[in-house]
Structure 1
Amino acid sequence: MELYLMSFIGSLIIILLSTTLAGHLTARARIPAVLGQLLIGIIIGPGVLNLIHPTELIDQFAEIGVILLMFMAGIESDMQQLKKYFKPALSVALAGVLFPVITMGLASLLFGYHFQEALFIGVVFSATSVSISVAVLREFKALNRKEGATVLGAAVVDDILGVSLLSLMIAIIGSTGTGDANEFGSSTNILIQLIFQGLFFIGVFLLVRWIAPGIMYLSNKLLIPTGRTISAMIICLSMAYLAEIIGLSGAIGAFFAGIAIGQTPTKKIVDSNIEPISNALFVPVFFVSIGLNVSFNNFFVSLPFIIVMTFFAVVTKWFGGESGAVLAGFDRKSSRVVGTGMIARGEMALITAQIGFKADLLDKNLYVDIIFVIVIATLLAPLLLRWSLKKLNITN
């Protein structure tokens, strides 16, 4: 056991050293850090250098990374921004979710995948990674313009819709007894499980409205400096645990816990305390663990699928976001900025794909192909957004 632990620590040292170096290089190249961490996982894993292999401890660290990443995503969901630009954001988000789900789902069916797999592929590519777009919008000083504000608001709705679709799919798969069903799902019938999942979302509403504000108010009275952060982590882990028990993903529970904490006055303190340890340890292990599962064995066989799906991944979000902005009254150039601002997938799509892989919604080869598509589409996203911003005559 001690030898196994020391082997894990050795792997952890390699992961942290390599991701730190990758983060520095990607920052210089203006490439999202998440892609650097993912590529490091591919390079040091069985796909290239074969230095590190997936292990139980790495998987457990990665699971914590997913929970913390989704928790922070919930905290950082700007509900005030959403309220201000609700109508255009809702229009953009709905179109930007429907087009990928329908188009990429149908394309997957034409490639011979089952309906369940095709639908889940559509759900994976319904996600948007706003952090990548924010970096470009900030570079062009367009973050506070109507285009930037709409992208931010639409990303909040996008995340909520995406997590809701993911919840629904996991619930259906768990209820029908396929996938990685847990003990609760295997010992209860469909109706009871759906009732418990309905009660869970009622609990989410109560948490956001009353429970989390009450707990965080009491945490201010604790005579320890980390009282508020510990209380927030208890809420996060409790929601993740409850979500797993009723057949959903722990990441989904963590996301809604983050939204609840994000509506309290302790939002900034909790975020500033949790983010450093998450990004310094658990989150890099999560993204590297995805890379460790990537193999090039079937790459050339899968190349037609990867090319076609990358094309649809870019076009569906672009067209969906742009058409939603046009319906909201934006002109063509502004609508194009919004559309290209919604292309990036990044961490949300990677998390969704990983959850599907763990739940046996995707087989290993399909999972790897989807990772390739996410990476390529995310690399193209900032280039297209910069192009559309220049067409808007905004100079950086």
Structure 2
Amino acid sequence: TGALDSDTGALLLDAAELDDVSAVVLLSVLFAVGPLLKQPEGAAILVPALKAGAIQLLLAALFSIACYLFSRWLEKPLSDGFAELSPTYGPIVLATGAAFVIASMAEFMGLSIAIGALFAGLAFSRDPAERNIDEAFGVLLTVFGPFFFVAIGLSVDTNLVSGAVGLAAALAGMAVVGKLLGAGFPAAVMLGWRQGALIGFSMVPRAEIFLLVMLFGLTLGAWAVPQALYNAAVLASIVTCIIGPVIVGVMLRPTEGNAI
């Protein structure tokens, strides 16, 4: 709709980024606490879970500080040095190598590669040459990005899909209502109903983080995420990724007397 560079588009993008950052922090806590939830009946899990969650939050905070310091003090000098070696490919080589290193450090700390990848992107977002780096990464994304969804699809049991439609509809409905109430309503109070509705519906699509959580639960076993629930979650993700963009696209489409 051509609204990305408008004030409304910038607001939606900023809200989505804050949503992702908060989600990956909670995801890191889940990765630490999740395996502890399977304990013998009657076992005390509250204290170990709180301890594991607190440690994970501390690690996430330290990792965030390290990424900020890299972004603030090291990224620009290193990028300039690599640019002197090769103006065309130097910064891209640095960004690619640093992304792998940062993501690997996050995995080593128990924060997951996904969290490290997000913070690697944030570390380079201050660079004025970020757009060129982003375009170069677009090639890698085209090649490797689909493999994440291949893994999601391979984990679906097609024999149980038909039986998961009802549960998928319920999950999709709650996904829509949850975002409209949790994000859209507070925004509407501050910005008016139209902006609130835009923010709410723009948050509706549940993709990477949602599917990462479900896949993680599936790997823990049926006690955490049964196969039927995982199948329903994948179907719900597809539905939300259609509903959100369609509604937001309609609301952003310029109409007579209503400029973006």
The answer to whether structure 1 residue 235 and structure 2 residue 94 are counterparts is: no
- Per the TM alignment, residue 318 of structure 1 is displaced from its structure 2 partner at its CA by 2.3
Structure 1 partner of 2:207: 346
Letter in 1 for 2:110: G
Q: Would the alpha carbon gap of residues 151 and 379 (structure 1) be closer, same or farther in structure 2, given more than 3 Å must change?
A: same
Preserved contact between residue 218 and residue 226 of structure 2 (Cα < 8 Å): yes
Preserved contact between residue 341 and residue 381 of structure 1 (Cα < 8 Å): yes
- Per the TM alignment, residue 390 of structure 1 is displaced from its structure 2 partner at its CA by 6.6
- Per the TM alignment, residue 392 of structure 1 is displaced from its structure 2 partner at its CA by 7.7
TM-score, scaled relative to structure 1: 0.54
- Per the TM alignment, residue 331 of structure 1 is displaced from its structure 2 partner at its CA by 2.4
Stretches of structure 2 that go unaligned for 5 or more consecutive residues are 39-50
Letter in 1 for 2:245: P
Distance 2:101 2:116 in 1: 8
The answer to whether structure 1 residue 166 and structure 2 residue 39 are counterparts is: no
Distance 2:25 2:250 in 1: 32
Structure 1 partner of 2:46: none
Preserved contact between residue 340 and residue 388 of structure 1 (Cα < 8 Å): no
Structure 1 partner of 2:237: 374
Runs ≥4 residues deviating over 6 A? 390-393
Structure 2 partner of 1:244: 107
SS in 1 for 2:204: coil
Preserved contact between residue 334 and residue 392 of structure 1 (Cα < 8 Å): no
Q: Would the alpha carbon gap of residues 143 and 270 (structure 1) be closer, same or farther in structure 2, given more than 3 Å must change?
A: closer
- Per the TM alignment, residue 386 of structure 1 is displaced from its structure 2 partner at its CA by 4.0
Q: Would the alpha carbon gap of residues 303 and 265 (structure 1) be closer, same or farther in structure 2, given more than 3 Å must change?
A: same
1:7-18 correspondence runs (5 A): none
Q: Percent identity?
A: 27
Preserved contact between residue 161 and residue 228 of structure 2 (Cα < 8 Å): no
Distance 1:192 1:335 in 2: 33
The answer to whether structure 1 residue 299 and structure 2 residue 157 are counterparts is: no
Which of 148, 151, 167 is the equivalent residue of 1:286? 148
Preserved contact between residue 193 and residue 246 of structure 1 (Cα < 8 Å): no
1:192-211 correspondence runs (5 A): 194=56, 196-211=59-74
Q: Would the alpha carbon gap of residues 336 and 224 (structure 1) be closer, same or farther in structure 2, given more than 3 Å must change?
A: closer
Letter in 1 for 2:154: L
The answer to whether structure 1 residue 318 and structure 2 residue 215 are counterparts is: no
Distance 1:295 1:257 in 2: 34
- RMSD (Å) for aligned C-alpha atoms: 3.1
Q: Would the alpha carbon gap of residues 217 and 291 (structure 1) be closer, same or farther in structure 2, given more than 3 Å must change?
A: same
Distance 1:381 1:274 in 2: 26
The answer to whether structure 1 residue 333 and structure 2 residue 174 are counterparts is: no
Distance 2:124 2:253 in 1: 37
- Per the TM alignment, residue 241 of structure 1 is displaced from its structure 2 partner at its CA by 1.0
Preserved contact between residue 83 and residue 89 of structure 2 (Cα < 8 Å): no
- Per the TM alignment, residue 177 of structure 1 is displaced from its structure 2 partner at its CA by 9.2
Which of 233, 258, 263 is the equivalent residue of 2:121? 258
Aligned residues: 244
Distance 1:163 1:241 in 2: 16
Preserved contact between residue 33 and residue 53 of structure 2 (Cα < 8 Å): no
The answer to whether structure 1 residue 157 and structure 2 residue 45 are counterparts is: no
Stretches of structure 1 that go unaligned for 5 or more consecutive residues are 1-138, 179-188
Greater RCO between the two (CA within 8 Å, min separation 6)? 1
Structure 1 stretch displaced more, 338-347 or 374-383: 338-347
Structure 2 partner of 1:212: 75
Distance 2:53 2:147 in 1: 37
Letter in 2 for 1:343: V
- Per the TM alignment, residue 363 of structure 1 is displaced from its structure 2 partner at its CA by 4.4
Which of 147, 150, 164 is the equivalent residue of 2:8? 147
Letter in 2 for 1:325: A
Distance 1:336 1:192 in 2: 35
Distance 1:331 1:157 in 2: 20
Structure 2 partner of 1:133: none
Q: Would the alpha carbon gap of residues 261 and 303 (structure 1) be closer, same or farther in structure 2, given more than 3 Å must change?
A: same
Q: Would the alpha carbon gap of residues 161 and 359 (structure 1) be closer, same or farther in structure 2, given more than 3 Å must change?
A: farther
